[in-house]
Amino acid sequence: MAASLAWAAGFVAAKHGVSIGFTPYDLAFHRFFWSGLLLIPLVLRAGVTDLGGIGWGRGFIMSILSGPVQAVTAYTGFILVPLGHGTTIQPACAALFGMILAALVLRESVAPQRIFGGIAIVGGLLVFGWESLATIGTHGVGGDLLFATAGIFWATFGTPAPLGDPDRSKEITGLMPAVNPRRRISRAAAGSKPPGTSRSGASLRRSQWQS
CA–CA separation, 115 vs 163, rounded Å? Answer: 24
Please report the pLDDT score of residue 197 as a whole number: 42
pLDDT of residue 89: 93
Alpha helix stretches (DSSP H) within 50-109: 56-66, 68-80, 83-104
User: pLDDT tens digit string along 117-166?
Assistant: 999 999 999 999 898 888 888 888 999 999 999 999 999 987 765 444 55
Band of residue 19 on the pLDDT scale cut at 50, 70, 90? very high
Residue 201 region, left (φ>0) first, then alpha (ψ -120 to 50), else beta? left
Residue 24 and residue 75: Cα distance in Å, rounded? 5
Question: Percent of the chain beyond pLDDT 70?
Answer: 75
pLDDT in tens, 23-43: 999 999 999 999 989 988 988
- What distance in Å separates the CA atoms of residue 77 and residue 81, rounded to the nearest whole number? 6
Global pTM reads: 0.70
Q: CB–CB of 62/54 below 8 Å? A: yes
Q: Are 28 and 68 in contact (CB under 8 A)?
A: yes
pLDDT computed for residue 173 by the predictor: 53
Mean pLDDT (the chain) is 79
Q: Residue 150's closest CA among 61, 59, 69?
A: 69
Predicted local confidence at residue 162, as pLDDT: 46
pLDDT exceeds 50 at position 202: no
State pLDDT tens for residues 157-179: 877 654 445 555 555 555 555 54
Burial of residue 143, with CB atoms counted within 10 A of its CB: 0-12 exposed, 13-18 middle, 19 or more buried: buried
Q: Could you report the per-residue pLDDT of 76-120, keeping only the tens digit for each?
A: 999 999 998 998 999 999 999 999 998 888 888 888 999 999 999
The CB-based long-range contact list for 106-111 (8 Å cut-off, 24+ gap) reads 106/159, 106/162, 106/163
> How much is the pLDDT for 149?
95
